[in-house]
Amino acid sequence: MTSSAAGRTRRPLYARLLRLRYLHPGAVACFLLFEGTIALGALLALAELVDWPVVILLPVGVAVMVKINDLLAGATLPRFGRGRTAHVARGTAIVVDSPPVPPKDRVVGKAPAPTSSAAAGPEPDPEGAGSS
């Protein structure tokens, strides 16, 4: 038994039956996709919201959608190599001149720090208009 064959036998039955190559659902996801849709179809049929053939058609429809998703996932992968590939630059980058960087001792957009005269308090009004 090869390592790839051993890895395939450990996959859930749902993933093996659909022959999923790019999607790797776990056991809980496979349970919800198969048994969960059967239970949902049965509940809908018992509530007389749908006819009884939906109990079989709902899991089949979900399986078809999962298989289509697997095929689309395979079609969007890079042609050469598997998994993540090195980042390849595509297109042309346009570099725009940036504005000059302000000096490090000056903060842009902030109020200036109080000076020694401003820290002493407000200046007295020379005409005395503020006092009554």
> Residue 94: what pLDDT?
72
Produce one character per residue of 49-72: b if its CB has 16 or more CB atoms within 10 Å, e if not: eeeeebbeebbeebbeebeeebee
> Residue 108: what pLDDT?
61
Which pTM was predicted?
0.54
Which of 65, 62, 12 has the alpha carbon at shortest distance from 38?
62
Q: Which amino acid is at 87?
A: H
pLDDT digits (tens, 9 = 90+) for 73-102: 999 887 655 555 555 566 676 767 777 766
> Residue 10: what pLDDT?
85
Long-range contacts of 54-59 (CB under 8 A, 24+ apart): 59/33, 59/34
> Residue 20: what pLDDT?
94
pLDDT digits (tens, 9 = 90+) for 22-71: 999 999 999 999 999 999 999 999 999 999 999 999 999 999 999 999 99
CB atoms within 10 A of CB 129: 7
> Residue 3: what pLDDT?
53
Using an 8 Å Cβ cutoff, are 50 and 39 in contact?
no
Q: pLDDT over 90 for what percent of the chain?
A: 47
For the chain, list the strands marked E by DSSP.
none
Q: Is 114 helix (H, G, I), strand (E, B) or coil?
A: coil
